[in-house]
Copies of this chain bind each other. A is one copy, B any other.
């Protein structure tokens, strides 16, 4: 099947068998950015510093979203996550917020999808809180940064 492991020899989607894999420590870090207009970016910064904590709300949404990954992504295995952390970085020049989500487990499959789902839900939540000000925001460059445990490690350039 051209390397499409999520489909069997007949081309039917399935949740692949990971029963024979050993439980190992697994970690994944994903990142993504949202690009704001100047007004929305200013509102986000004003909010974050004192009241109207946009990033605080987005962080909780990202953590809860990452825990829902196997509910959202049909062929993902349910996994008991042992750690979730979400960081944000602000870039005043580009009017951008970068979100990092780190997921960890001790289990039979990797946690890339959990980290990536956390990032996307976090960015969507920022979007939601600023969309009254700015309808032109763009979520850009969500990707895997690092993956440890399992068959092979990965670090993006």
Chain A residues in the interface with B (C-beta under 8 A): 1-8, 10-19, 25, 32, 39, 42-43, 46-47, 50-54, 56-57, 59-61, 63-65, 67-68, 70-87, 104-108, 112-113, 116-117, 120-121, 123-125, 127-133, 135-144, 147, 154, 156
Contact = CB atoms under 8 A, between A and B. Distances in A.
A74 B60 contact: yes
A52 to B, nearest CB: 4
A86 B13 CA distance: 8
A4 B56 CA distance: 14
Nearest to A152: B135
A120 to B, nearest CB: 4
Contacts of A39: 3
A133 B65 contact: no
